[in-house]
Amino acid sequence: MAKMIKLVSGDGAEFEVEEEVAFQSKIIKDIVADADDVIPLPTVSSKVLIQVIEYCRKHAAVNSFPLSPSSSAAAAASSSSSISYSKPVSDPALRAWDNEFVKLNNSSLFDIVIAANYLDIEELVDLVLETVADRIKGKQAQEIRRQFNIENDFTPEEEEALRRENSWAFQNN
C-alpha cells in the first residue's frame, strides 16, 4: 500500500495523494521528512491544487519509471532553480501532455506559477514560465500589457523615450 499524504488547500478542501506524487514538491518533501503527514497549504486554492496534483501525478509516474535515462537523470540532477533554464522533457508523449496542460488562460497560468514556485516543483515552474515567455515573444509592449492586464506606469516623458526605443528595435529599413 503506497504511503499517502494529505494536502489541505487554502479554502479547506483535503486531498489525499500518494507520497511520490506529493514529493514532486520539494517543500512538501521537506515537511514530511519531519514526520508530518497532513500538509496545510493556506496560499493555494483547491482549484489550483487540483491542477498541480494532476501534474505531479503524471510526472511522478514518469519519474519513477523513466522511459529514457535522460528524463530521470534530469529529475535527479535538478538542484537550485536559479541557474536552470527549462530542461526539455525528453518523452514526447509527456511533452504533448504538458502542452495540453498549459492551455490555460493567463489568470489560471498565473495561479499555477505562484503555486508551483511556492511548492518548489521545478519542472512545473519551468513549464509554465516557458509558456509565459512564448506568449510574450513576438508581441509589442502594448499588446503584452493588454493580454496580461498590466498597468502602464511610465511617465509621459518615459513613454516618449520608450516609443523611440521600440521604433528602433522594430525598425525595418
Cβ atoms of 56 and 24 within 8 Å: the answer is yes
List binders of other proteins among 27-46 (CB under 8 A): 43, 45
Nearest to 8 by CA among 57, 58, 50: 50
Under the binding rule (CB under 8 A), the answer on residue 101 touching other proteins is no
Task: State yes or no: residue 80 binds other proteins (CB under 8 A).
Answer: no
Answer yes or no whether residue 148 interacts with other proteins by CB under 8 A.
yes
Q: Between residues 32 and 102, which has the closer beta carbon with respect to other proteins?
A: 102
Q: Is 13 in the site for other proteins (CB under 8 A)?
A: no
Nearer to other proteins, 73 or 133 (CB): 133
Region 106-135 residues binding other proteins, contact defined as CB under 8 A:
106-107, 110, 113-114, 117, 125, 129-130, 132-133
Q: How far apart are CA 139 and CA 72, in angstroms?
A: 35
Minimum distance of other proteins from residue 107's CB (angstroms): 6
Report, in Å, the least distance between residue 67 CB and other proteins: 26
Cα 132 to chain centroid distance, Å, stands at 10
152 part of the interface to other proteins, by CB under 8 A? yes
Residues in contact with other proteins by the rule CB under 8 A: 10-11, 43, 45, 81-82, 85-86, 106-107, 110, 113-114, 117, 125, 129-130, 132-133, 136-141, 144-145, 148-154, 157-158, 160-162, 164-173
